[in-house]
Amino acid sequence: MFNTAFCSFNLRCNQRDMHALLNFKQGVTDTSGVLSSWSTERDCCEWKGVMCSNITSRVTGITLPCSATLQSYEDKMDRSHCLTGSIHLSLLLVELELLDYLDLTNNDFLELQFDYLHNHTCHNLSMATSSRQCVNSSTLRHLDLSHNWNLVINTLKWLPYISSLEYLNLRRIDLSKETNWLQSVTMLPSLSHLNMRDCELKDLSLSLQYANFTKLQFLSLSANEFNSELPKWLFNLSSGIYDLYLSSSSLKGYLPKALLNLHELKDLALDDNNFDGPIPDWLGEFEHLETLCLGDNMFSGSIPTNLGNLSSLITLDVSSNPLTGVVSERNLAKLSKLKNLEISSCSTLIFDFDSHWIPPFQLEELTLGFSNPNLPAWLYTQRSIQFLTIWDSSFKASNKFWNFISRVTEIELQGNLIDGNISNVLLNSTIIYLSSNCLKGGLPILSSNVIYVSLSNNSLSGDMSPLLCGHNVSNEKNNLLFLDISLNNLSGGLTNCWNNWKSLVAVHLGTNNLSGKIPSSMGLLSNLKSLHLHENKLHGEIPHSLKNCHSLLVFNVRNNDLSGNIPDWISKSVMALQLRSNNFIGKIPPQICQMSSLLILDIAYNAIYGHIPSCLGNIKTLVFNNASVNKFRFYSPSFDEDSYLFNDDNLELVTKGQVLEYDKNLHFMTLIDMSSNNLSGAIPFQMFSLIGLLSLNLSNNKLAGKIPNEIGNMKNLESLDFSTNQLGGEIPQSLSSLSFLGYLNLSFNNLTGKIPSGTQLLGFSTLSYIGNRDLCGSPLTKMCFQDDKHKGKELVDEDGNQSKFLTWFYIGLESGFVTGFLGVCCAIFLNRNMRHVCFKLLYNLRDQLYIMVNVNMNPFH
């Protein structure tokens, strides 16, 4: 129907259409020249993304999707080369009278403009222009604005003015403020395809009995925030809907049998919700069903054998439910078209397959989780598997098993009890995830096909040479991007074979028994972004060759025996620098202040001395932290073309007085920890301009001077520790304004005066303030007498010591009380049996008076 080449019969582009396109271009920001061909020097039917009728040369379509990939450790998907700005949709519909197709997928548009007037002559559809032209709503059939992640649309009231729409895709657009979305989309009588996945919708109109979808065939409302049961209008659709996607939307309750009203269904996706009760056996009555996804819910009981009647089924997912009972060939015997099978349970699910059974299907994807001790024998009959997942199971892995998985593109075995030794096993898959399986032996061998490998949290031992320095890697081109062998029992050095692995982006070797120095060959990893060497026995200085790792974002060497000065050449792009618990000496290099992306600076427990650089206040990301989930995340394209495999960096940080591990939430954390060093001097007031900082720990140093009043600027601070220093003066009143402060430790300093009033500070215990002998006021038991009412009275001298007047004032007060009390005793207790009580109390009071006089007269107290 469409032709982007020169039009037939040598007809030229319609001039009005050309001007309409140029008007659209004028409202768009195009920094990469996507629309550079849109020039009057060429026929507009030859412009990039413009489709014209091959008969009339009128513009009938615009297709300008942007191709963008998600990069590891980037704040977001790079769309700098995509179109941005505003979409003047109503202007396009007015001026392009025959526009039928509009695709602006995956760009970075920020605003959608649709201007109309309530003009009865235009059927309530008009454009606010000088010519008062009406929006032509009878031609546009296809509108795709999906994946414009920064596009916010507050209302969909403009939709009914495009009544010809048949295809509408608004996936990943923010519609959180639109509460009547259903009313708007049901006013499109020709709509057959509606995709509103991940639009932050919250209302499913539960009170509505009927929704006027007369031609709807495809509906996706997945990844929204409904938090409700399925609505009644869904079961009463008059159209023959084929595809229904409601995954990841916080839906709950039992599955109602009224779903059978949608008897034409081919795809039904209800996974990752909170549905409960048994899996209904009536699901086996959907004759045309090809996809059934019920995974990640709370379904209980056994898997109904009726599901085995779904002979058209291609995908069956019942994984990650608390299912029990037995699964056998009876559940699967008729599923000859099956390509994707996911069966696992977070309870007790027993596989009881005949060892000689040969399934009628050949799977491409398989997920298993079972309770019995052996793998099902039919697994080895599957010759087409590309993706294999086994978790929370127990089995023996023989050579036959390792040979079998070498043909699988992606393997994910996690949380299993695998009886197997992987020494010298050749791993050939592109993606290999073998974490937490109790694997034993030495390291395996990697083929050049491997891109991602994680062997963390096993019981692997020996050195790293078989993996990195074997004969099979020295002369081959390797493609490995991600290597994680942390949390094992590996020993020996880090080897010097890193020149064979220059493609590496992330290296995780922490929590082993590795020793020796960091080899200089690691500096050849010029693509390296994440390096974790923590909790080993490494010594010596950090090699200068790591200066070549210009892209390094995470550098973690905590808990080793490394020494020397903190390098002044570490990459300025570093976001997390963790050097704690080593033997580093010298001063803090001012080059750290040039790390404009720094979020975490942890140099605690070293021998660093000197002053804290005042330039730390210049670190931009700590002035304002724009949290992004992607900052500490490695991405890799998955076998499923619409998804990614990712791995979150994790760091162990000390904050709020305890050791906490941050992984998926690491991107929210901002921290400076310089505790337990030999830092001296005053705390620079510039440091308190870091208003994005959440945790600040300067404890166990030799810092002196006052706490600057500017500390009140740190409005986001949650944890503050200045304990065991030599800080003096009063606690600034501004500290009480930090409303998010959940942990405070000012103990063992030389702070004086009254603890500032305010709910936030009074909520802390005495442990936050002890060891400051001249500090008083709640929550301490020591009372303050120099409050506002007594500031003009000299009860305290210039040095903060109590005056002689105050000492004799206490003596007079005490002796007067004793005399008066004695008189009362003698008058009341004339009974001789009670006299000894009176005298005993008198002697006690005399002792207290003696102690008080001595304490107040002692100048060294």
Report which of 813, 820, 810, 812 is spatially closest to residue 841, judged by C-alpha positions: 820
The answer on pLDDT for 542 being more than 80 is: yes
* pLDDT at site 525: 94
CA angle 222, 223, 227 (to 5 degrees): 95
372 contact partners, CB below 8 Å, separation of at least 6: 350, 351, 352
Confidence of residue 128 (pLDDT cuts 50, 70, 90): very low
Task: Give how far Cα 123 sits from Cα of 163, 233, 719, Å.
Answer: 12, 29, 61
Pick 392 or 628 by higher pLDDT.
392
* pLDDT at site 668: 85
Phi-psi region of 560 (alpha: psi -120 to 50; beta: other; left: phi over 0): beta
Report which of 212, 162, 167, 211 is spatially closest to residue 192, judged by C-alpha positions: 167
Residue 334: count of CB within 10 angstroms of its CB:
16
DSSP string, 165-223: --EEE-TT-B-TT-S-HHHHHTT-TT--EEE-TTS------TT-S----SS--EEE--S
Pick 630 or 362 by higher pLDDT.
362
Calpha distance 720→716 (Å, rounded): 11
338 and 361 Cβ atoms separated by less than 8 Å? yes
Calpha distance 430→444 (Å, rounded): 15
The answer on pLDDT for 32 being more than 70 is: yes
Read off the pLDDT of residues 432-464 as tens digits, 9 standing for 90 and up.
999 999 999 999 999 999 999 999 999 999 999
The answer on pLDDT for 126 being more than 70 is: no
Pick 648 or 213 by higher pLDDT.
213
Calpha distance 664→15 (Å, rounded): 54
3-state DSSP of 784-825: CCCCHHHCCCCCECCCCCECHHHHHHHHHHHHHHHHHHHHHH
pTM of the complete model beyond 0.75: yes
| Residue carrying structure tokens 């300093």 | 749
Radius of gyration for the alpha carbons in the chain, expressed in angstroms and rounded: 36
The answer on pLDDT for 40 being more than 70 is: yes
Q: Residues 473, 476, 477, 479: is their CA dihedral positive or negative? A: negative
Pick 511 or 122 by higher pLDDT.
511
167 and 141 Cβ atoms separated by less than 8 Å? yes
Q: Which amino acid is at 593?
A: C
Residue 463, classified by CB atoms within 10 Å of its CB into exposed (0-12), middle (13-18) or buried (19+), is middle
* pLDDT at site 476: 59
226 and 204 Cβ atoms separated by less than 8 Å? yes
Pick 789 or 148 by higher pLDDT.
148
Read off the pLDDT of residues 583-639 as tens digits, 9 standing for 90 and up.
999 999 999 999 988 999 999 999 999 999 999 988 888 887 665 555 777 766 665
Provide the mean pLDDT of the chain: 86
393 and 373 Cβ atoms separated by less than 8 Å? no
* pLDDT at site 130: 36
